[in-house]
Amino acid sequence: MKRKTLYAPSLLSADFSNLHDAVERIHASEADWIHLDVMDGRFVPNITFGPKVVADLRPLSTLPLDVHLMITEPERYAEEFISAGADYLTFHLEATVHAHRLVQKIKERGAKAGVSIVPSTPVWMLEELMPELDLILIMTVNPGFGGQSLIPRCLEKVRYLKQAAQRDSHDYLIAVDGGVNRNTADAVRRAGADVLISGSAFFKASDPREEVRRVRGY
């Protein structure tokens, strides 16, 4: 079954002193989800925000909140982010030993479970988790900062995941994060991505609605 491609603006490139405006911009753009990058200064060399920001944003939108944890030991904070209103909770395979246990816990608590891998992690490392996952997020830059260029080789992973899903009837959505913009979007969509995450290009765009349409392809 062909799914509609979804566009998820990443708040990382928003003005953090005015998140209200950022959410309004997302609503006006007709984007599908809101992507929230949580960074701890350990798993990645940058720090952003914690569950309170997610909880404060929750009443401002009915769009799904897609929380991307770039933190070590994500199991310590998963429940807090779900209580704060995360619809999708994605953590990094590289950040915990017991990824399978954490996926179960996220689903038991009523959220959708996602796992992400950085560019240096081979995609087959996800094999055992594939039947359990609601979302797989392929990082197409090294996580930590917005505004980097997409690493084309990472799209091979997207193709692999698409084929695996078709072959083995897996249900996960494939999300791509890092360097997605109107110049790279075609290749990302053709590789098989279901969710296109974009930060700097979205917040720089003079017409965000047009940007979303161009990137999403409709």
Question: Which residues from 159-218 bind Zn ion, rule CB under 5 A?
Answer: 177
Q: Is 207 a catalytic residue?
A: no
Check binding of 51 to ligand DX5 (CB under 6 A): no
Distance CA 116, CA 123 (A): 10
Check binding of 68 to ligand DX5 (CB under 6 A): yes
Interface residue with ligand DX5 among 146, 165, 189, 191 (CB under 6 A) is 146
- C-beta of 169: minimal distance to Zn ion in Å? 27
Find the catalytic residue in 32, 37, 40, 194: 37
Check binding of 9 to ligand DX5 (CB under 6 A): no
Burial class of residue 62 (count of CB atoms within 10 Å of its CB; 0-12, 13-18, 19+)? exposed
Dihedral angle at the C-alpha atoms of 94, 14, 207, 178, nearest 10 degrees? Answer: -20
Question: Which residues from 83-112 bind ligand DX5, rule CB under 6 A?
Answer: none
Distance CA 103, CA 19 (A): 29
Cα 155 to chain center, whole Å?
A: 15
53 token code pair: 């920001």
Q: Is 15 a catalytic residue?
A: no
Distance CA 63, CA 25 (A): 13
- C-beta of 131: minimal distance to ligand DX5 in Å? 25
Check binding of 10 to ligand DX5 (CB under 6 A): yes
Check binding of 208 to ligand DX5 (CB under 6 A): no
Q: Please report, as ranges, the residues that interact with Zn ion according to CB under 5 A.
A: 37, 68, 177
